[in-house]
Structure formats: C-alpha cells, structure tokens
Chains A and B, each alone.
Chain A
Amino acid sequence: MDKFGKVLRVNLTTGTIGIESLCEKTMKEFIGGRGYATKVLYDEVPAGTDPLSPQNKLIFANGPLTGKGAPSAGRYMVVTKSPLTGCIASSNSGGFWGAELARAGWFMVILEGKAPKPTYLWINDDKVELRNADAVWGKDSHASTDALLDDVGDSKAKVTCIGPAGERLSKLAAIMNDKNRAAGRSGVGAVMGSKNLKAVVVKGSARPYVENQDEMKAVLAGAMEKLKTNPVTSQGLPTYGTAVLVNIINQLGGYPKNNWQGAYFPEADTQSGETLAKDFLTKRYSCFGCPIGCGRVTRVGDREGEGPEYETIFAFGVCCGVERLEPIIEANYLCNEYGLDTISAGVTIAAAMELYEKGFIRKEELEGGPELRFGNEEAITYWTKKMGLVEGLGRKLAEGSYRLCEMYGHPEFSMTVKKQEMPAYDGRAIQGIGLNYATSNRGGCHVRGYTISPEVLGLPEKLDPVDISTKPTWVMIFQNLTAAIDASGMCLFTSFALGADDYAAFLKAATGLDFDGAAVLQAGDRIWNIERMFNLREGLDPTNADTLPDRLLKEPIPDGPSKGMVSRLPEMLPEYYKARGWDVKGLPTDTKLRELALK
C-alpha cells in the first residue's frame, strides 16, 4: 500500500518521527481523508480528551485521489477533536498543499503531543524535520507563508499554517494553506496552536501513483464532459463564484438577516455575486487540477486578496445587517490573514450586535471601538481584528457565539448547532437544510449534506423547500455521499455534475480496489456513523444536540417571501433516525453497526 502514500506520525513532545503503512482494509472501508482520519482519531484519542491538550491529535489527511488525475482533486482534510463543539472536527481545504503532500509521498500526517516551543514541520519528499518557528510566531498567515518559504529556501514549497487566532487559541481559528485557502471550521487552528505548531511546509517531487492510468484517463474524459456541459460547473460557478447564491436565496426568503431575526434583505443585490463580478473581481482562482475555478481574486482600494465566498458575504453582510461589499471583502481579507473561520467570525459578531442592541454588552466594554450595531460597516472589520488578536472584547468574541451569549446570560441569541455557527440558509424557509444542520456531526454546517441543491436549485430533482415528507431520506443520502466525496480528495462542487458511480470509477482506477457506487455510498454511511459514535462517546446527548436554536423552531420569519414559517424539525427528526437505522433516541443500533462492520 505504500505506493499510495505513507503515514507520517510526529510526536511534537519528543520530536519522534515515525513512518507507517496504510491499511488496505481501512482504505476500502473508509476511503481516505475524512473517513480514514476519523477512524484513526476514533481508535487513538480516548473519550474525554481536552481538545487543546497534548493528548488530542491533529490529522492532515489526503484522499486516494488527492493530487492525481481526477478533476478538482486537490483536497485534504484536517480531523481532530474540536475545541468549539467538543465533537468531531473535520475541515476540508483546497488550494495546492494537499496535492504537494501527495507528491512528497505522504497520505496522512498524524501530529501528537505538544512542541516545547514554536515549531514547524518541514517535509521535503522523504526528509522530515521539526524546525524552530520563533521567527514567524505572531505573524499573520501571509507573512508567515512568505517567511517560511524563505526559510526552507524553496519558493515552490506549499505552506499550511495558523495565524495569530490559532496561536492564541481562538475557538474560531482556521488553518490556512496557500495563504487564502482555509480548513476553516470547528476551531482546528486552535488545536494546532495548542501544540505550538505554526506550520507544515511540504515539497514533493514525485508523480502520485495511479494503479491504472488508462482507466483513469477514460474515467476522466467522461467526467470532464459532464463538468463542461453542466451549467453550474461550466458557467455559474466560474462566472460568479459561490456568491451567485445571494439573490436566489434572498428571493426565496431564506437569507438570514441581523442574526437570524429576519430572512429577507431588500438590498441583497448590492452584495451579490453579480455585483462582486462587476465591481471587484480581478480574476478567478482555481485550486489544484480544477476545471471549475470558483475562487475569487478581488481588489478593494489598494488591497488585493481572495474572497468572498457566499457564506462570507452572508456572515459579515446580511447577518450583520451590512449592505456594501467593500467592508465585507475587507473582513474576509482579515480572516485570511489572522486565520479565522469567516462563517463563525461573522455570525459571532452578529450575535454580539444583538447582545449590544438589547443592552447586554455595555458601551464601556467596547473600549472606544465602533458600536456593535447592525449595519455598522466599521464594526465588522474592527471587531474581526480584535477577535483575530484575541484582545479586549475580542477575547470573548474569539470563543464563538455560543460561549459569548452564555457569558451574558442569553444563549438563546446564539445561532449555533452543537455550539458551531450556522451558515447562510434559513432552516425555517428551507426545511431539509435545517434538518441537516441539526444532525450534522460537526455542528452547524451546510456542506455535510447540501440539500440546497435539490431544495432550491432543482438539482438533481426539484424538491419543494417547505415540504418535509421526503427530506429525512434526502438529507441522509446527501450526508453519506458528501462524506465519501470528502474522503476521496475531490471537491464537493463536482457533485453538481457527477454522481456516486463517477467517484467510484475514479477510486477504482486510482487504487485498484473494487469500488462501485453502492460501496462508495456505504463508505459514506460508515463514515457518518463512526463520526456519530465519536460524538456519542464524548457524551453527546442527542436530545439536546440534534436540534436548532429556539429562534428557528418557535419564532416565525417576520417578513419577506417566507413570512410566518418555522422549522418543522421535530416532525422530521424521528424519520431521519429511522432512515439511518438508529433507535428512537438517535443511537446507532447494533444491527446498523454490524451492517457497517463497525461492531
């Protein structure tokens, strides 16, 4: 199995570096990336481990397709126990770092312990060493990347690193690779910071191994044809980026405004993908081997950077009541530099705005900073900086929305699931995505099971967003397929054009293992269930955890096209448990676990 890459295990406490082989059985059952790494975490990190202690492990994991001939297959995952949620964290990122790791001959890097002082890991093909990072500790992700490339003396090496937010253990800290790509969610950057690990720099020189090159070329030809003729992957995403969603989600009345106190924003077109493309876009950005190119390179004033994605526009824009793109883009740049998750950062500021407007955060606490009022452009950039530096009131913000609101005695203002901030779709207006948020293993997240595709965009079928009858099954299927795609190393966005059989064909060509569409979906199911088991072992109580904020369950949307709607989660959840083969309490049954060879 070493031809598919080896496992690098580094104990940061002792400086010990070990090399292990991949297990074929685990690859067949869990594919790689999110799946394989979660299996390792489940087996090696005992229940009750403090996420920010040396006993937690931080795993960087490629999929079997990362860096190979499949389209948009440059993805890697960061898997660990989350300091934000206490549950599984599995954050996905693109760019070029994962592909470079594959070129260096590594499939996965397991980091244990805690370095005695700021350290970075330098992987140069099979030469691996821990190096002093004193010179870059405290620097932002961009300055750190430049300095580390100088330090290794190879400008073509790839860097994944943390910024000040991760160093200072913000629970919203991301891990940033290639400067602007983020393994963003669940506070994975804080785990890296807790280990005194500033960065992993990698350079590879080999062509990643593919078991059957001819088969790979044939599968690629078919997939490229689908991607080139699909209107989403060939036109919508390249032209407008993910921000193309602003207008349609708003027109449907599902665009959460002012910390989810509304769901319709009359000014939405001002911050849409169309406006972004017209006024700010300088060029597109494509990750490794990607024919789609949804990334946005933008310019505001004399600053050029990457972003914003749709989620970022929502978080710093409508969710904070901010209309214009300039401050939203600026806040995005700051998140990239400080190493913050844009969704959680923006939604946390929105919660702070509600706390302030309702009189719970006092003006003196702002220490002269801009008032936390909805619509205040200055506030979103100023408080993002404070959050990124974890100073002043930013220290409280850096804990995330849930802990912030709890500190002030009003957790009901926190728009989170399992303490992680919800993304840009209102689960009252779009019922399936609400169920997906409530059941997501990593807390509030849209890309665990992106039912927006059928519920709003009509792909692959047109589902009525307000109907709940088939949503439990759809959510489960989307969650399983997504887990498998994340495990493969391909980008989720390819799924607008490709299906389980396509991913299976790529995996079979790359590994020689006998994957088919059913096996891929079952692997996704297995990944979902082992994540669930991890969470349950950590003490997750489904009664309290598989839910949505009361605002979505009890407060009808006040205006706009979805006026009057609330989430019907209580009706959907039992059906979802049943579809998953879980008992009425949401626990996987023995039968289900045996079916998945998890017991």
Chain B
Amino acid sequence: MIKVLFFATIRDYTREKETVAEGSGTVGDLLLELSDRYGGEFRDEAFDGDTISDRVIVLVNGRHIAHTGGGETRLSEGDTVAVFPIIGGG
C-alpha cells in the first residue's frame, strides 16, 4: 500500500489528512485514482489535461517528483506520497 498525505488547501478537496491507496503504478496513476475518489475539484487542481499541474507539489518519500521522473515516477509498496499546493513563506 501507498500512504498518501494531504496538506494545506489540498485538504479542502479531500476532507481528510491522509489515506492509503493501491498505487502500484506511477504517481500519475495514483493521482488519477485519487481524482476518482475525491472528485472534480481535486482533479482540477492536480491536472492540466493529462499532465500533473504546476499548482501542486508532489513528494515521494521526501523527493519532489520533478527530480525523479515527474508523473512517470514509479511507486513501490510502502512509499509515502505527500501532496501540497504551491506555497511559500520565510
């Protein structure tokens, strides 16, 4: 199983802080699975068409997917995926 964590305004769409998913494929597959589960608002935030949007930051085991293959990043049993909106601070 994959542990999925949601943060900040992403929680407005999921109504929960975390969940588990089968997610044996790619990050893109996982976000599609989650879009089915949480509905249009989540999907609209997570995707621009078929591409993962720049409005979300997705970490797999602490690594931004931009540096691991993007939506094609492969997931393995026991991985932790964290989904954030674009945020900033200082």
Contact = CB atoms under 8 A, between A and B. Distances in A.
B46 to A, nearest CB: 14
A575 B8 CA distance: 37
B5 interface: yes
A446 B89 CA distance: 11
Contact of B64 (A236, A241, A273, A464): A464
Contacts of A310: 89-90
Contacts of A492: 90
B87 A248 contact: yes
Contacts of A456: 64
Given A274-B8, A464-B67, A232 B87 contact: yes
B59 A251 contact: yes
Nearest to A450: B90
Interface string A441-464: 000001100101100111100101
Given A247-B7, A269-B17, A273-B8, A561 B63 contact: yes
Contacts of B13: none
Contacts of B2: none
B9 interface: yes
Contact of B88 (A247, A467, A496): A496
A243 interface: yes
A394 interface: no
A273 B64 CA distance: 21
Contacts of A232: 86-88
B64 A462 contact: yes
Nearest to A247: B7
A321 B43 CA distance: 37
A239 interface: yes
Interface residues of B, number: 25
B66 interface: yes
A245 B90 CA distance: 8
Contacts of A245: 87-89
Given A240-B87, A459-B86, A462-B66, A235 B9 contact: yes
A493 interface: yes
Which of B17, B57, B90 has the most CB atoms of chain A within a 10 A radius of its CB? B90
B76 interface: no
Interface size class of A (residues with CB under 8 A): 35 or more
A381 interface: no
A237 B88 contact: yes
Contacts of A274: 7-8, 11
Nearest to B81: A251
B89 A244 contact: yes
Contacts of A231: 55, 85-87
Nearest to A240: B8
Contact of A241 (B9, B57, B89): B89
B24 interface: no
A38 interface: no
A252 B59 contact: yes
B37 to A, nearest CB: 21
A561 B61 contact: yes
Interface string A494-522: 00100000000000000000000000000
B61 to A, nearest CB: 6
Contacts of B63: 561
A231 B45 CA distance: 12
A457 B86 contact: yes
A253 interface: yes
Contacts of A446: 90
A305 B9 CA distance: 25
A492 B88 CA distance: 12
Interface string A532-565: 0000000000000000000000000000111000
B78 interface: no
Contacts of B8: 236, 239-240, 244, 247, 273-274
B84 interface: yes
Which of B57, B61, B82, B89 has the most chain A CB atoms inside 10 A of its CB? Answer: B89
Given A240-B8, A253-B62, A561-B63, A458 B90 contact: no
Nearest to B60: A561
A168 B21 CA distance: 57
Contacts of A273: 8, 89
B5, B7, B59, B63: which has the most chain A beta carbons within 10 Å? Answer: B7
B66 A453 contact: no
Nearest first, the 9 closest Cβ-Cβ pairs linking A and B are: A561-B62, A242-B89, A232-B88, A236-B87, A462-B66, A245-B89, A231-B86, A464-B67, A251-B82
Given A231-B87, A240-B8, 5 more contacts: A251-B62, A294-B89, A457-B57, A458-B54, A562-B62
22 contacts: A231-B55, A236-B89, A240-B87, A241-B89, A243-B89, A244-B87, A245-B87, A248-B82, A251-B59, A251-B82, A252-B59, A252-B62, A253-B62, A294-B89, A446-B90, A457-B87, A458-B54, A458-B86, A459-B88, A464-B64, A561-B61, A561-B62
